[in-house]
Amino acid sequence: MLNVAVKAARAAGAIINRAALDVEAVRISQKQVNDFVTEVDHASEAAVIETLLGAYPDHAIWAEESGKTHGRQGSDHVWIIDPLDGTTNFIHGFPVYCVSIALAVRGKIEQAVIYDPTRNDLFTATKGRGAYMNERRMRVSKRTDLRQCLVSTGFPFRPGDNFNNYLRMMAEVMQRTAGLRRPGAAALDLAYVAAGFADGFFETGLSPWDTAAGSLLVTEAGGLIGNFTGESDFMEQKECVAGNPRIYGQLVQILGKYSKFASAGEKAALRQSTPSLVPPDTTPSAKVEADGTRISDATGDPAE
């Protein structure tokens, strides 16, 4: 099954690489504000589905673009597919994107493939058999001091996302780490945590196809993944944190109070402890203090 998934991922990667040669000719549509889909997403997804169902016609498909319309729905075997994670990067020619394929058997991820076509990097994992990058065994990093760690994340970009909450999280993590990165493809971020290139990762608003394959890579490489309160059942909860075991624990301590599952008391304390970090919609040239307080208007006169 893993070999079939690798074949499917490479087929999709070939389509993506051909399109990347003339990315300005790619047709783009918009699912919602800042959420794009291209003809390459659809062609890549079709290639993956054709390869998987050609080998396993009785399996079910759950794909980002076509949903649950292919395969035999109700099967114990469900392929979870993101045909092009990092579409916004792709349409700008920014070379950070990947194909993500996972197989869930009775709700548990058992096979995972993440393929980066720009670098020809192949990340694979089978439950209980370890995780590999280009056929070399991967392990999460060994750092234990968060101050020495590189942590990756994803910025909120959809209407309705809680920007203030995210800015508070980012401020807390930035002050405690060696660096915060936002590459723009969550599946690849998780693969990099598994490979030890990053020590941790957190993001909100993710879907199962963003995290399914990466979650198995992380755990098979010796890491942990869960929601912001540290619970392992995170796949459909739209909040995700991952890292090596020590760093994962430290990130959960920081991010737990921002979880949708945080207690009412924690949420109330959070609202009272920090003012809004997004300044009000005033004149563009208004001066604003770091805490969001407007100190003068466009003329330089003190604001009332």
Report yes or no: 169 and 258 within 8 Å, Cβ to Cβ: yes
Specify the DSSP class assigned to residue 220: H
Q: How many residues does the chain have?
A: 304
Reported pTM:
0.85
CATH number at residue 22: 3.30.540.10
Predicted local confidence at residue 252, as pLDDT: 96
Asked, for residue 270, whether it belongs to a domain, the answer is no
Asked, for residue 68, whether it belongs to a domain, the answer is yes
Asked, for residue 194, whether it belongs to a domain, the answer is no
Please state the domain count of the chain.
1
Give 242's contacts (C-beta < 8 A, 6+ positions apart). 190, 193, 200, 201, 202, 214, 215, 218, 223, 224, 225, 226, 248
Predicted local confidence at residue 256, as pLDDT: 94
Asked, for residue 256, whether it belongs to a domain, the answer is no
Asked, for residue 212, whether it belongs to a domain, the answer is no
Asked, for residue 227, whether it belongs to a domain, the answer is no
CA distance linking residue 249 with residue 71, whole number of Å: 39
CA distance linking residue 304 with residue 296, whole number of Å: 8
Residue-wise pLDDT tens digits, 208-242: 999 999 999 999 999 999 999 999 888 888 899 99
Q: Which residues form the domain of 65?
A: 2-127
Torsion of CA 266, 272, 273, 277, to 10 degrees: 110
Residue-wise pLDDT tens digits, 150-186: 999 998 766 667 788 889 999 999 999 999 999 999 9
Annotated binding residues for Mg(2+): 64, 82, 84-85, 210
Annotated binding residues: 64, 82, 84-85, 210
Measured in whole angstroms, how far is the alpha carbon of residue 161 from the centre of its chain?
A: 15
Asked, for residue 107, whether it belongs to a domain, the answer is yes
Query: Alpha carbon of 285 to those of 19, 62, 81: distances in Å?
Result: 41, 47, 45
Specify the DSSP class assigned to residue 281: S
Asked, for residue 62, whether it belongs to a domain, the answer is yes
Predicted local confidence at residue 300, as pLDDT: 41
Query: By percentage, how much of the chain surpasses pLDDT 90?
Result: 72
Measured in whole angstroms, how far is the alpha carbon of residue 45 from the centre of its chain?
A: 18
Tokens of 264: 């009412």
Specify which of 78-92, 224-238, 257-271 reaches the highest per-range mean pLDDT. 78-92
Query: What's the mean pLDDT in 138-158?
Result: 93
Report yes or no: 121 and 133 within 8 Å, Cβ to Cβ: yes
- Residue 218 CB neighbours (<10 A): 29
Query: What's the mean pLDDT in 79-84?
Result: 97
pLDDT band at 34 (very low <50, low <70, confident <90, very high): very low
Torsion of CA 294, 297, 301, 304, to 10 degrees: -50
Predicted confidence (pLDDT) at residue 290 exceeds the cutoff of 70: no
Predicted local confidence at residue 274, as pLDDT: 54
